[in-house]
Amino acid sequence: MKYDVLIIGAGPGGIFSAYELSRLDPSLKIAVFESGNPLSRRKCPIDGKKIKSCIECKTCSIMSGFGGAGAFSDGKYNITNDFGGTLYQYIGKEQSIELMKYVDEINMLHGGEGTKLYSTAGSKFKKVCMQNDLHLLDASVRHLGTDINYIVLNNIYNELEKKVDFYFNSPVDTIRHENGIYKITSLYKEYTAEKCIVSVGRSGSKWMERVCSELDIPTESSRVDIGVRVELPYEVFSHLTDELYESKIVYRTPKYGDKVRTFCMNPRGAVVNENTNGIITVNGHSYEDPSKQTNNTNFALLVAKHFSEPFKYSNSYGESIARLSNMLGGGVIVQRFGDLIRGQRSTSKRIMESFVTPTLNATAGDLSLVLPKRILDGIIEMIYALDKIASGTANDDTLLYGVEVKFYNMEVKVDENLETKYKGLYIIGDGSGITHSLSHASASGVFVARQIAMG
């Protein structure tokens, strides 16, 4: 089983590595190993009827399989260096934007044409935000939508499978480096190549930690973002979402000076469960197809928590908080903003009588029993700040789902080529801790593919 390049993980990072490598040098023998299923076989068993909540499958179809964590996402490709990762710190701002634009072109060639590219450039909201002590970050956003995102992935797969060997349901166990050759094992078989690209995303974070420790590659971990997902009537944010689709707004809370930001905005979208290593958190998405759209908009409000020495288990901290909500609510908890402010738990009756119909079947409860005071205070302050630019955000019936946790993979030490101290071993995408988004992860894949193909 000898190859020229081994790619571990078939998320955006792995897919774009394979795409660019096979395009630049069709003679290369490339293998892609993926823990999960091919796209067509990825199916979360939750149907809302027989299976209502997560049954903790061996491999989570939402997070794993061809397309990676992004396969059923909203497909928002943010073309920016302002958020979504720090790729630009390694490869430069210009190149990073150029690669994100290239990824966008590939997506357009594979079914994404006709989707809208939104931009904050010249938007009046920048000023409106500033006047209210809020800060709108610059970006262009290609919104594929969950449905078109799937079509694009499917088209790319149909093209790639003719050029690349895919091994699905094949988690890679070990990576060894002997005499300039990488030897990986999957399902007790060994595969070798001179180059190895590791792109295992968030679901592969624990495995990545082990591999780095085995190969003695330095890592660093210090950040986790914790918060809630807000759901409100579409009209409340329509002036922003109609023009920008997604607005990343940052606020520094007066009380603690913490930064709170909006994240992953889904106009007319739905709130969904997310399973990370068996812990149920909340997320959201939306469809391009009008027949699948809802009357609500949802977005996350996240408080960034940075830890300094000696504590370095930031993700475990986030996991513990998420576990608390799972313990109290059996999964995700939902609470009306009015109930939170009045210090009372929401009940199913109060949620049912609410003017906002929840799009996720979550347990009515009390988020103040779950979230640390500092984080909850920050979220409440942000909701009142947002109310000034989107009146109605602080309404009693605004729904808050908790908890939403944005785990950050530990940062793996790589150089400006995204190469580890071992020549030919590249660590890219969210698994490297450098990217946290579809566009940055994909761009990192194109980047290393070009490094390899062009020698």
Residues that bind ligand FAD (CB under 6 A): 8-14, 33-36, 64-65, 68-70, 73-76, 78, 84, 171-172, 199-204, 207, 264, 274, 283, 285, 429-431, 436-439, 441
* Termini Cα distance of the chain: 23
What CA–CA distance (Å, rounded) separates 423 from 61? Answer: 33
Nearer Cβ to ligand FAD (425/441):
441
Helical (H) or strand (E) element with 8: strand 5-8
312-to-224, 257, 413 alpha-carbon distances in Å:
11, 22, 16
Closest approach, Cβ 440 to ligand FAD, in A, equals: 7
Nearer Cβ to ligand FAD (78/294):
78
What CA–CA distance (Å, rounded) separates 453 from 28? Answer: 9
Nearer Cβ to ligand FAD (110/336):
110
Closest approach, Cβ 394 to ligand FAD, in A, equals: 26
Closest approach, Cβ 103 to ligand FAD, in A, equals: 11
Closest approach, Cβ 315 to ligand FAD, in A, equals: 15
Nearer Cβ to ligand FAD (87/380):
87
Q: Are strands 5-8 and 30-33 parallel, antiparallel or unpaired?
A: parallel
Please say whether the dihedral angle defined by the alpha carbons of residues 307, 313, 319 and 323, taken in this order, is positive or negative. negative
Nearer Cβ to ligand FAD (383/448):
448
Nearer Cβ to ligand FAD (11/358):
11
Q: Which of 115, 161, 89, 122 is nearest to 413 (CA)?
A: 89
Nearer Cβ to ligand FAD (368/409):
409
Q: In what order do the strands lie in the sheet with 140-143?
A: 76-79, 140-143, 116-119
Q: Are strands 140-143 and 116-119 parallel, antiparallel or unpaired?
A: antiparallel
CB-based contacts of 382, cutoff 8 Å, min separation 6 = 251, 253, 260, 301
Closest approach, Cβ 90 to ligand FAD, in A, equals: 15
Encoded tokens for 82: 């302002």
